Amino acid sequence: MTLLPVPRTAVVIVAAGSGTRLGADRPKAFVGVDDETVLAHALRGVVAVETPMQIVIVAPAGLEGEARAEAERTAGERIDLVSVVLGGPTRQASVAAGLAALWADIEVVLVHDAARALTPPDVFDRVVAAVDETGWGIIPVLPVVDTLKRVNGDRVAAAVDRADLVAAQTPQGFRRDVLATAYAAADAEHTDDAALLQAAGHQVGTVAGSPLSFKITTPEDLDRARRVLADREPAPIVPSRPALILPRVGVGTDVHAFTAAGTLWLAGLEWPRQSALEGHSDGDAVAHAIVDALLSAAGLGDIGTHFGTSRPEFAGAHGSAFLAETRRLVEEAGWTIGNVSVQVQAARPKFSPRRAEAEAALSAVLGAPVSVSATTTDGLGFVGASEGVQAFAVALLIAAR
């Protein structure tokens, strides 16, 4: 069951090489680093990127099932975004196989070596942001630290100025249409995807890479990866989450004081001849409690996050305007409102004659059932003294689709 929004970015993880230089008894991506393989670590980095991406794993012949199993262990709720395809005899052929599996909606594609297993998630973010900004091919790079020499056999022919040299890493990011066209036209093997893109006449830019993105090529590199992992803080114990996205609840409360001027607005209704509630907006504590409950359920912050002084258009707005905008935010984040229950504590106005009307008005704005109940406080507290009203709301959200 896919409950995540359709992504616009994809990552092709090439893992189909044999790992000749590593010399292990199985293809490199399937060699254990600690208790997990090179591929599993690469997948963890990709899955930790905040915005979900389509993930295409390019596997060697006979290991497609194992690649799928690694994804099932590591991708969590993003497993529906993963597909596994068979690689080719060269890296370039493997990338081409991965590109052929991209979904129609994909606009930006990253190509990543499984062998760069410890690449941190922020590198992916940087590459995607730079592709979006420039439309160019983008590669993560590190400055070259060693002094470089050009040699002729075993003799040094010349020193090389390293000032304008960098080391290229992956993930390399591209506009999907541009990369697909360049791949279709390629008639030679290139050292990386950026070189292929440049050969087709396109611009390639850089962002900062990471020392952790080193490629596991030799047994020494594998040792280095093992040392990096051994030095890490033990990961916090996070309870494993089911692949199913659970419904989410949120709670919200609000209080507003009565004031002498104006007409009362409460629960989305106008109450003629009742003194108004004070506030930046119309003081509709019922609507505001619902807004907080919905935003909290969606994990989108609170009313101040979205309707504070940075949104002057909401100054003086009615509760229904807040509710409509909140519904839009929640739906944009991939949720559907299940239902809302709200209780108002108020000594006045007398609520019961208009309870059904309030429920209808609030339900209409949210497109979901809203139940409203009202109570007094037996004369106690600020509610009992008629100084103000207070509202409590609970909202349930379910994943859209």
Residue nearest to ligand CTP (CB): 17
- The verdict on 63 binding ligand CTP (CB under 6 A) reads no
Contact between residue 286 and residue 344 where contact means Cβ atoms under 8 Å apart = yes
3-class SS of residue 256: strand
Residue choice 15, 108, 245, 344 for contact with ligand CTP (CB under 6 A): 15
113 binds, among Mg ion, ligand CTP, none (CB under 5 to 8 A by kind): ligand CTP
268 binds, among ligand CTP, Mg ion, none (CB under 5 to 8 A by kind): none
Residue choice 217, 336, 377, 386 for contact with ligand CTP (CB under 6 A): 217
Nearer to Mg ion, 189 or 387 (CB): 189
The number of beta carbons lying within 10 Å of the beta carbon of residue 322 is 24
Q: Return the ∠ at Cα 273 (arms to 270 and 276), rounded to 5°.
A: 65
Nearer to ligand CTP, 3 or 86 (CB): 86
Instruction: Point out which span in 20-28, 100-108, 270-278, 353-361 binds ligand CTP (CB under 6 A).
Output: 20-28
Site string for Mg ion, 11-50 (x = CB under 5 A): ------x---------------------------------
- The verdict on 312 binding ligand CTP (CB under 6 A) reads no
Residue type, 185: A
109 binds, among ligand CTP, Mg ion, none (CB under 5 to 8 A by kind): none
Nearer to ligand CTP, 25 or 233 (CB): 25
The whole-angstrom separation of Cα 264 and Cα 259 is: 9
Instruction: Point out which span in 48-56, 86-94, 267-275, 391-399 binds ligand CTP (CB under 6 A).
Output: 86-94
The whole-angstrom separation of Cα 398 and Cα 334 is: 9
Q: Quick one: CA dihedral 218, 220, 221, 227, positive or negative?
A: positive
Shortest gap between Cβ of 286 and ligand CTP (angstroms)? Answer: 57
State both tokens at 53.
Answer: 């991406």
Residue choice 2, 51, 90, 263 for contact with ligand CTP (CB under 6 A): 90
Shortest gap between Cβ of 149 and Mg ion (angstroms)? Answer: 25
Label residue 153 left, alpha or beta by phi (over 0 means left) and psi (-120 to 50 means alpha). left
- The verdict on 140 binding ligand CTP (CB under 6 A) reads no
Site string for ligand CTP, 24-43 (x = CB under 6 A): ----xx--------------
Q: For residue 172, give the nearest of 195, 189, 188 by alpha carbon.
A: 195
Bridging pattern class, strands 269-277 and 248-266 = antiparallel
3-class SS of residue 51: coil
Size of the site for ligand CTP (CB under 6 A): 23
User: What is the residue whose two structure tokens read 């900004």?
Assistant: 133
State both tokens at 230.
Answer: 């051994």
The whole-angstrom separation of Cα 147 and Cα 66 is: 42
Residue choice 58, 108, 130, 399 for contact with ligand CTP (CB under 6 A): 58
Residue choice 37, 94, 326, 390 for contact with ligand CTP (CB under 6 A): 94
Bridging pattern class, strands 54-59 and 9-14 = parallel
3-state SS, one letter per residue, for 175-200: EHHHHHHHHHHCCCCCCCHHHHHHHC
Contact between residue 120 and residue 126 where contact means Cβ atoms under 8 Å apart = no
- Residues forming contacts to Mg ion in the complex (CB under 5 A) are 17
- Residues forming contacts to ligand CTP in the complex (CB under 6 A) are 14-22, 28-29, 58, 87-91, 94, 113-115, 215, 217
